[in-house]
Amino acid sequence: QASKARGIGRNPCFSSSNQPIERSSPQGRPAAPGRMPAEGEAAKGHEPSRWGCGLAAVLLGVAGSLGLLLLARNFAHDGGAAAPALTAQLIELKPKSDNRQYHFSRLSNGIQVVNVHDPKALSDAYSMAIEAGSLDDLENFPGLAHFCEHMLFLGTEGYPASAAYDEFVKLKGGYLNAYTADETTVYYSELSKGSLSEAFDRFGDFFRAPLFDKSLVEKEVEAIDSEHAKNVQSPPWRLWALFNSLANPESPVSRFHTGNKETLYTKPGKEGANPVDALKTWFNSHYCPSRMRFVSFSSLPLQEQLKLSEKYFGNITAKDPSCESEPRRSWAEPAPWPKQRLGKWLSVLGTTPSANVVLYFPLPDLTAEYKSQPIGYIHYSLTYGGEGSLTTVLRDDLGLVTDISVSFSTGSPGGMLMVYFGLTEAGRSKPDGVLDVFFQYVGTLRNAQVSMELYNSLANVHKLSWDWSQRSGPSDTASAIAERLTRMPAEKVLSGDDLIETPDPVKVASLLKLLVPENMNAALVDSQTSFDAPAKVRMVPYYGINYTMEELSGQFPVALARWQRWVTPEGSRSSADQLREVLHSPKLQAPKPPQAIQNVPKQVATTYMSAETRPAPGQRDAEIVGPYPSLLVAPHQASLVEARQLRGQADGLNRNDSLWYRQGWVSTSPKVKVKAVFRPPRTIDYLEAPVADRMRLDLYATLFKKGLGPKLFDDTVAGASYDLSLSTDGVVLSFEGFEPLLPNLIDRVTREVRAGLDVTQVDLDLALDDLRDSLQSYSEMPITYAVSDRNVLLTTGAHSKEEGLAALSSINTSSVASSVSDLLLGSPLQFDALIMGNLDDGQAKRAASSLRRGVSAGDDASQVTGRVLPVSPVVRPGRPVELRKMNPRAGDKNSAVVVTLVHGLTTVEDRVVFGLLGQMLGQLAYNELRTKQQLGYVVHAGDVAISNVQGISTVVQGMTTDADFMEVAVERLYFEDMPAYLRDLKDDDFQQFRNGFRQELLQPPLGYNEEFDHFW
């Protein structure tokens, strides 16, 4: 789940509405839908730096054009000759890398269906999207749509047990989830193949006959209350709630959408309202066939999937006739953003050390503009990071911001564009200076008019990226298509969020005209905010966000007048000179709009992109992930003759180096991936480097990438990328993309590495401020920090945030500038590289030579004592260890525990046994700790690997009880419930777990990254 394929999947920058409310996952509204993360993963909500979507989020998953072929086929209805025939249309508009088949049809009751056939799939998946969401809440029941989503999982007439569906899915080695967005609710599940008929029967009963059992209402409300509590201190959630609270109170946009115990249980009870009655009425009014979109994913033939869909979903009927007869409501009226609701300046008390300025621009509904993607042009123009860009002027020339990001959403109430500026200390005291540069740049964009060269080059990049995107997994595919069916034609569900088919410069220009101060609300979010007039302090209900609000004209009367002038064609002509005068920076070059993207590959060679799939002796998994890479350059264990023969063109490699290479991929991709690690040998008495050394290297890597980023921005946008990671354990360089772009990229990066880094005090101070803020920030869920602390206890080279902060006091420009040469390049390094993909062995050797020469030349790790450690050492506790800490998030009422049983060094057999145990424990933990005991919204258990050490781990986070009680419950799970479960486990059930785990192991890779990571 670390990466989602972009060919099919929600693009967070182009979502159809505000981001979703999730079930059974520690994800928040900023999250795209997905399965619950593993115990060791961070919370998976989209919380990139300063929130917002980076450029990669826009470009990685977008692009392309092909054609659409609709093939009408008639399939017999399962009910017999009297039933109507079902017509299926084959959707041909899909990426070149996608070998799946997609059929669209309508069931006899009107439900729109897409069936997906993947002949190699070993998992089945399905999803139902409903055209109803949080905006449809009853006014006296905020959060009712979200509550309904939760309750549908807790029993139906056909399967009344509250945990029946959860247990069924997990017994089949699967998982389930759902999310509620503004105008859509999406349910999805995935399980090992072979049970689709039974799964459809159970899932279909959600929408035919949910129980809404009143005995479960209070417990599930507690879960929603816990879910809301985890969001209250999340910066993205708080921003979303803050800006929505300013909307017209007559519009549902302004209301509380998640719900909590007060809105769903306590207050209705006092008013004599029955939550169950409200749920039933709301469900009947909004869940009907005309508002349902169903998707199945399987290796079963399309005809069979369609028959099963008709059998189990074609008999769903509308409980309330008005649901079918009345059109889906638009929330364009009452207008959420009348003129009097805009032009505001908010001073907000933040919850993290860093400060931000956030601009909120209401836009028209752009749902129908998927062919032209006008917001994609604006997004690129605002986030462009090349030399002379808005980012480099604000960050590098003026030192006012640390970064810029942009997010966008749209729906029937309208769209919105949010621009986020992470502020430096200088920017903190001069937010109007940030807006000066922003509005001067917007005026330049408008005056320059829309560049069709840039627009077309973006379309080419989108096309290239989309054509060769990595596939998404079964449930991600199903849920994404189901959601897209609610807002675009079936023939566009694979491409509508991704391709720029018909550029529309007129629409872009019309949107740029809306990026003006009078169509904006702006907020300064800062933990250092103080309120001089307490009587003026306001609070966002349910989130406790304190802020004051002024008219922009009152806060910045002089600045506002120039912003309004600069965004006009007349005012923009002299705005650059005026900007220099206002900022007292006579040499400042005003930011320039980006030019057309150059060097986008037009004809991508595919000569070497396919790997052999014939297994070699002893390579039992070659049929799944392809043959093992070959050793092109051998370490010193090979004879000198063999080593010379293997080296060939790989000049510059030393006797102890190794280069592994494989041609092509099992999946379909013309890309290349290169990864090299340079590691120092260690003697047995080496423990770990001081934390200050780690801080020096972190700062070096940050400043290196900051300096190189603008120079390489155009190259990386065109279809290639790089990364540099530095630690006391070595240097890691990685590159990926289309082969024609990589040699130049590798050469330029390694040349900069070889040249070293000139660290100025100004640059270091900015980097130190940003690092200090991140070390003092606790914006993630508490369980994230519990897991991190567990890892600090068990692994070498890991340090706490407090240790890192303390070490910063000893950092200076010379210690950072010399860190790489002192700590890494000053001693011999062993070079190991893996190169895979669409290139031949000669190209692989040349790439390796360039990398080796760039990082260190002439050294030989075989000449020193010690050896390179193949894995990171893990502490053997030897006895029970308990770490007790306060929740680091001030004001957060959640408690959290992580309880890990450390087993020992792993073997293949252990990994299988623990994998099976983890599946069983995960199901049991969820049922016992989440469903029955309601200990918290976040409950996850399973097997865990820390380096090469195997273990079992359980995490719980919630507000209903304290951490001591949670720990007792987990220990009872381990030492009483789990042994009893295993004793009573029936052989048939065990075989189902075993079969599901086997199918998971045999699942072919979705894309080249999975193949590469398997061997790395």
Question: Which pLDDT tens digit goes with each residue over 810-861?
Answer: 999 999 999 999 999 888 889 999 999 999 999 999 999 999 888 864 455 5
Q: What is the pTM of this model?
A: 0.90
Q: What is residue 686's predicted lDDT score, i.e. its pLDDT?
A: 79
Task: Name 588's Cβ contacts closer than 8 Å, sequence gap at least 6.
Answer: 393, 397, 398, 579, 580
Q: What is residue 147's predicted lDDT score, i.e. its pLDDT?
A: 98
Site of tokens 């638009």 = 330
Q: Taking phi first (over 0 means left), then psi (-120 to 50 degrees means alpha), and beta for anything else, what does residue 55 get?
A: alpha
Percent of the chain with pLDDT over 70: 89
Q: Is the pLDDT of residue 488 over 50?
A: yes
Q: Identify whether the C-beta of residue 831 lies closer than 8 Å to the C-beta of residue 660.
A: no
- Report the amino acid identity of residue 917: L
Measured between alpha carbons, how far is 252 from 647 in angstroms, rounded to an integer?
A: 67
Question: Which pLDDT tens digit goes with each residue over 704-745?
Answer: 999 999 999 988 999 999 999 999 889 999 999 999 999 999
Q: Identify whether the C-beta of residue 188 lies closer than 8 Å to the C-beta of residue 293.
A: no
Question: Which pLDDT tens digit goes with each residue over 55-97?
Answer: 233 222 322 322 222 333 333 333 333 445 678 899 999 999 9
Band of residue 226 on the pLDDT scale cut at 50, 70, 90:
confident
Q: What is residue 77's predicted lDDT score, i.e. its pLDDT?
A: 34
Average pLDDT over the chain reads 88
Task: Name 818's Cβ contacts closer than 8 Å, sequence gap at least 6.
Answer: none
Q: In the predicted model, what is the mean pLDDT of residues 560-580?
A: 95
Band of residue 45 on the pLDDT scale cut at 50, 70, 90:
very low
Tell me the torsion sign for CA atoms 691, 693, 695, 701.
Answer: negative
Q: In the predicted model, what is the mean pLDDT of residues 368-385?
A: 97
Q: Is the pLDDT of residue 39 over 80?
A: no
Q: What is residue 200's predicted lDDT score, i.e. its pLDDT?
A: 98
Q: Is the pLDDT of residue 33 over 90?
A: no
Q: What is residue 634's predicted lDDT score, i.e. its pLDDT?
A: 72
Q: Which of 574, 780, 676, 946 is nearest to 28 (CA)?
A: 780
Q: What is residue 533's predicted lDDT score, i.e. its pLDDT?
A: 86
Q: Is the pLDDT of residue 798 over 90?
A: no
* One-character DSSP codes across 538-582: EEETTTTEEEEEEEHHHHSHHHHHHHHHHTSHHHHTTHHHHHHHH
Task: Name 234's Cβ contacts closer than 8 Å, sequence gap at least 6.
Answer: 28, 30, 45, 47, 779
Question: Which pLDDT tens digit goes with each residue over 241-298?
Answer: 999 999 999 999 999 999 999 999 999 999 999 999 999 999 999 999 999 999 999 9
Measured between alpha carbons, how far is 211 from 150 in angstroms, rounded to an integer?
A: 12
For the beta carbon of residue 74, count every other beta carbon within 10 angstroms.
10
Q: Is the pLDDT of residue 543 over 70?
A: yes
Q: Quick one: angle between helices 431-448 and 505-512, nearest 10?
A: 150
Band of residue 649 on the pLDDT scale cut at 50, 70, 90:
very low
Measured between alpha carbons, how far is 446 from 440 in angstroms, rounded to an integer?
A: 10
Regarding beta strands 292-298 and 112-117, do their DSSP bridges make them parallel or antiparallel, or are they unpaired?
A: parallel
- Report the amino acid identity of residue 934: Q
- Report the amino acid identity of residue 734: S
Q: What is residue 20's predicted lDDT score, i.e. its pLDDT?
A: 41
Angle at CA of residue 318, ends 313 and 319, nearest 5°:
125
Q: Identify whether the C-beta of residue 695 lies closer than 8 Å to the C-beta of residue 703.
A: no
Q: In the predicted model, what is the mean pLDDT of residues 360-378?
A: 97
Q: Which of 832, 1005, 989 is nearest to 923 (CA)?
A: 989
Question: Which pLDDT tens digit goes with each residue over 681-692?
Answer: 888 777 788 999
For the beta carbon of residue 842, count every other beta carbon within 10 angstroms.
12
Q: Identify whether the C-beta of residue 523 lies closer than 8 Å to the C-beta of residue 242.
A: yes
Return the minimum-mean-pLDDT range out of 173-187, 504-518, 521-535, 635-649: 635-649
Task: Name 765's Cβ contacts closer than 8 Å, sequence gap at least 6.
Answer: none
Question: Which pLDDT tens digit goes with each residue over 400-423?
Answer: 999 999 999 999 999 999 999 999
Measured between alpha carbons, how far is 950 from 945 in angstroms, rounded to an integer?
A: 5
Q: What is residue 383's predicted lDDT score, i.e. its pLDDT?
A: 97
Q: What is residue 84's predicted lDDT score, i.e. its pLDDT?
A: 54
Question: Which pLDDT tens digit goes with each residue over 929-955?
Answer: 998 898 988 999 999 999 999 999 999
Q: In the predicted model, what is the mean pLDDT of residues 872-890?
A: 91
Band of residue 910 on the pLDDT scale cut at 50, 70, 90:
very high
Question: Which pLDDT tens digit goes with each residue over 755-767?
Answer: 899 999 999 999 9
Q: Identify whether the C-beta of residue 479 lies closer than 8 Å to the C-beta of residue 33.
A: yes
Tell me the torsion sign for CA atoms 774, 771, 434, 452.
Answer: negative
Q: What is residue 517's predicted lDDT score, i.e. its pLDDT?
A: 98
Question: Which pLDDT tens digit goes with each residue over 994-1006?
Answer: 998 998 888 889 9
From edge to edge, which strands make up the β-sheet containing 895-905? 895-905, 949-958, 938-946
Q: What is residue 534's predicted lDDT score, i.e. its pLDDT?
A: 87
Q: In the predicted model, what is the mean pLDDT of residues 759-779?
A: 93
Per the model's pLDDT, the better-predicted residue between 614 and 76 turns out to be 614
Q: Which of 707, 103, 826 is nearest to 392 (CA)?
A: 707
| Burial (CB count <10 Å: 0-12, 13-18, 19+), residue 776 | middle
Question: Which pLDDT tens digit goes with each residue over 431-486?
Answer: 999 999 999 999 999 999 899 999 999 999 999 999 999 999 999 999 999 999 99
* One-character DSSP codes across 89-134: EE-----TT---EEEEEE-TTS-EEEEEE-TT--EEEEEEEES--G
